[in-house]
Structure 1
Amino acid sequence: MADTQGAQQAPQVKMNILTQFIRDLSFENILAQKGVQGEVQPDVQVQVNLDAKKRNADHQFEVTIKLQVESKAKGSDARLFLLELDYAGVFHIEGVPDDQMHPFLLIECPRMLFPFVRRIVSDVTRDGGFPPLNLENIDFVQLYRNELLRRQQEQGNGQANA
């Protein structure tokens, strides 16, 4: 009987990716536009933002990875390229408790989308005239924790200023 009670307490999580798509993509090859000559050592900065929202259909959520990749020449502020990508996935999710849905949407869903984002960034930088940029894995758990900490600090500062 203990097994039956355990099964009732922990519903099975079901997650399907219904679709995924590029919402917005921009790539500027500033190096080619300015005609910079000689050997250039790139310094790449990557910023990641996540967004999740409930859709009108039952159990459907849209999760977006917003990526900005900027490459500058080492030792100067001269930009080489700027890539901006909003990549979204629509997920059907069942069996996740309400109190765990927010971290699930901002950790597990982006993990599923990331390999596709990595491939797009690699292809676009290569097609844009640069060596393919292969993004390092993103620790979505740490990204989520950092965002929670940032929000707590904002709330703390808001209360201290009131």
Structure 2
Amino acid sequence: MADQDQNAQQNSQDPSFSLQRTYIKDLSLEMPNAPQIFLEQEGPSVEVSINVSGQQLAETVYECSVTATVTTRITDKVLYLVEATQSGIFEAANIPAEQLEPLLGIVCPTMLYPYLRANVADAINRTSLPPLHLAEVNFQSLYEQRTAQAAQEKGEQDSGLVLPPGVTRQ
């Protein structure tokens, strides 16, 4: 009996992570220059931006969102603009603090991105235009860039050197 109680207590302290739900939080498609833009002969240029955000909903429950903004232009006219936010609810319990932020900034967006890609392609396909398939994204690299940028904004320079107190970098 004591072994069962000890095993149950140990299992309740084990790290756990799971995706609870995924959903489209926002989806908009605009074609401000239709139908005249369809008469243009030039090929379109595409601009894509990706953003990741998140928030804690409860003690072990988090929401992560990946937002894509796709702007397609012919010359200076917008052919279409798609803004889509794919979100998910994740449960993360007993995760060490130093591992929680990378988990939410790398693993969660990586899990959500295939849903986002499919929803963006589907929305564009419904315009009768050829679908646009978003390229793969390395969320680890994106996370590291954001972390480095935040450190730089704080005035910290991550050179790998640890200076003793009172010593300044020249």
Identify the TM-score tier after normalising by the shorter chain.
0.7 to 0.9
1:64 and 1:126 map into 2 onto residues whose CA distance is 23
Alignment partner, residue 18 of structure 1: 20
Alignment partner, residue 37 of structure 1: 39
Alignment partner, residue 30 of structure 2: 28
Alignment partner, residue 91 of structure 2: 92
Alignment partner, residue 82 of structure 2: 83
Instruction: Assess, with a 3 A threshold, how the Cα gap between structure 1 residues 36 and 109 changes in structure 2: closer, same or farther.
Output: same
How much has 1:42 moved relative to structure 2?
A: 1.6
Matched ranges for 1:122-137 at <5 A: 122-137=121-136
Encode CA deviations 1:96-122: one digit per residue, 9 max, x unaligned.
211111111010001111111010011
- Unaligned runs of 5+ residues in structure 1 are 1-7, 158-162
Give the partner amino acid of 2:82. L
1:66 aligns with 2:67: yes
How much has 1:41 moved relative to structure 2?
A: 0.9
Name which of structure 1's ranges 148-157 and 136-145 shifts more when overlaid on structure 2: 148-157
How much has 1:146 moved relative to structure 2?
A: 1.1
Give the partner amino acid of 1:125. I
TM-score of the superposed pair, with normalisation by structure 2: 0.78
Alignment partner, residue 115 of structure 2: 116
Query: Helix, strand or coil for the counterpart of 1:67?
Result: strand
Identity of aligned residues (%): 29
TM-score of the superposed pair, with normalisation by structure 1: 0.81
Query: Helix, strand or coil for the counterpart of 1:143?
Result: helix
Counterpart contact for 2:19–2:90, Cα < 8 Å: yes
Counterpart contact for 2:37–2:79, Cα < 8 Å: no
2:131 and 2:96 map into 1 onto residues whose CA distance is 40
How much has 1:60 moved relative to structure 2?
A: 0.7
1:147 and 1:138 map into 2 onto residues whose CA distance is 14
How much has 1:33 moved relative to structure 2?
A: 4.4
- Unaligned runs of 5+ residues in structure 2 are 1-9, 157-170
Indicate the structure with greater helix content. 1
Alignment partner, residue 49 of structure 1: 51
How much has 1:34 moved relative to structure 2?
A: 3.8
How much has 1:31 moved relative to structure 2?
A: 4.2
Give the partner amino acid of 1:79. V
Alignment partner, residue 4 of structure 1: none
Query: Helix, strand or coil for the counterpart of 1:27?
Result: strand
Query: Helix, strand or coil for the counterpart of 1:32?
Result: coil
Query: Helix, strand or coil for the counterpart of 1:156?
Result: coil
